[in-house]
Amino acid sequence: MRQSKLFPKTIKIAPKDAVSASHKYLVQAGYVDMLQAGVYTYLPLAWRVIGNINRIVREEMNTEGAQELLMPALQPKGIWEETGRWSGSLSEVMYQFKDASNKDFGLAATHEEVVYDLMRRFINSYKDLPVAVYQIQNKFRAELRAKGGLMRGREFMMKDLYSFHLSAEDLNEYYKKMIEAYKRVYSRCGLEAKVVEASGGVFTDNFSHEFQVVSDAGEDKILYCDGCDWAQNSEITKLKVGDKCPKCGQPLKEGKSIEVGNIFNFGEKYAKDMNGYVNDDKGEKLPILMASYGIGISRLVATIVEKYHDDKGIIWPEAVAPFKVHLISIKKDAEAEKVYNELTLKGIEVLLDDRDVSAGAKFADADLIGLPWRLVVSDKAGVKIEVKKRNESASRLLDLAEVLKEVI
């Protein structure tokens, strides 16, 4: 794509209320735009990043046999009353309203009730189990703490998956598989997410599991071990910094962290609340068990930026970058065009800076936008191309064939 056509241009001044690098850079570089507190437009650059993340998420969810669908945001009061959440635990964060005929609606803060209603109507036999479905879409929460940036929004993008089982053993096995699938998702996005034990809520003695990325921009606190994979949310742990890890004995650390996902074993809760039962092969009535698995897609975008940036801008990991290459023409448009065509022909996604602005402005924008490879065509480089990765300080002069070998 030609940068002269890219909407919008980068912004000179960072948002005043930006306290985190992700908020600052995602706004300044033209990735997102705030419509109101906690509500953002994903501009074309962010939409490309989200497309890359969603592709990774879909691949990993499909690998575990989950089927994609899309459930509505506009939800009826009735199903939420069955679980007591219409006026209970969720009522404070769920936008609720009436239409002209006085009918009550709730705006999707989550989808457990909707998906369980779907399943209890369609699962007629034990042969229909297990089954897992997922969706990717915007959810809505009346957040009082809606802060700048994508960290905590009133409208935000989620992947939510729900699995349904006949036995606790089968559920637990799928739950473990999903933990591994989640680790693969985060790892492919360039993040190391800790699997953290957290409160299971009021209806189970088991832990739920959160996926947390250690970061000073986080709102959570976790106690964790560097020697092994043990970690607990500080809200529930009975241990403290310096205590011995219960698993490997090393001293425990505490750190701020960003919750990028969570999974929850609801067990029989929804079967009891919403009357979801099915007969097994012996005619015995069994509850349809449910677990849910969420990933905050838009928060993940911000988390990646928190981990990958410097004082000049973003440094995208290749797997999620909006383009792989930033190709900059310094008054050598015809030559740059040739390189652009060669790279594009090889299937490489290139942002060509063909604008009529200074070299300094182009380099500053390239650092801010943060594509993994910067190629410069200029008089200085002559017939060669100046090549630098975003996270390198020194550039090298290569010819086109060498560039192609390195970048592909």
222 to 59, 191, 255, 258, 259: CA distances (angstroms): 29, 16, 6, 10, 10
Asked if 96 is part of the footprint of a second copy (rule: CB under 8 A), the reply reads: yes
Contact predicate 315/309, CB 8 Å = yes
| Least distance from a second copy to the Cβ atom of residue 379, Å | 25
Interatomic CA distance for residues 389 and 317, integer angstroms: 11
Cis omega (within 30 of 0) for bond into 8: yes
107 binds a second copy (CB under 8 A): yes
DSSP state of 252: P
Restricted to residues 309-328, the positions that interact with a second copy (CB under 8 A) are: none
Burial class (CB in 10 A: 0-12, 13-18, 19+), 118: middle
Q: Checking DSSP bridges between strand 155-165 and strand 74-76, what pairing results, if any?
A: unpaired
Based on the shown chain and the rule CB under 8 A, indicate whether residue 105 belongs to the binding site for a second copy: yes
Query: With binding defined as CB under 8 A, does residue 281 bind a second copy?
Result: no
Question: In this complex, which beta carbon is closest to a second copy, that of residue 118 or of residue 236?
Answer: 118
Among 138, 172, 378, 395, binds a second copy (CB under 8 A): 138
Question: Out of 14, 19, 59, 92, which residue is the one contacting a second copy (CB under 8 A)?
Answer: 92
Categorise residue 249: left if φ over 0, alpha if ψ from -120 to 50, beta otherwise: left
Under the criterion CB under 8 A, does residue 67 sit at the interface with a second copy? yes
Identify the residue whose tokens are 């970061």. 215
Residues 214, 222: contact at Cβ < 8 Å? yes
Q: Pick the closer one to a second copy by CB: 138 or 204.
A: 138
- What's at 24, amino acid-wise? K
Binding of residue 274 to a second copy (CB under 8 A): no
The one among 89, 124, 199, 206 contacting a second copy by CB under 8 A: 124
Burial class (CB in 10 A: 0-12, 13-18, 19+), 162: buried
Query: What residues between 18 and 37 interact with a second copy by CB under 8 A?
Result: 33, 35-36
Q: How far is the CB of 401 from a second copy (least distance, A)?
A: 30
Q: Pick from 17, 63, 72, 89: which binds a second copy (CB under 8 A)?
A: 72
Does position 264 interact with a second copy (CB under 8 A)? The reply is no
Instruction: Identify the residue among 23, 85, 152, 154 touching a second copy (CB under 8 A).
Output: 154
97 lines the binding site for a second copy (CB under 8 A): yes
The binding site for a second copy (CB under 8 A) comprises: 5-9, 33, 35-36, 39-44, 46-47, 50, 65, 67-76, 92, 95-97, 99-100, 105, 107, 114, 117-118, 121-122, 124, 128, 131, 133, 137-138, 140, 142, 144, 154-155
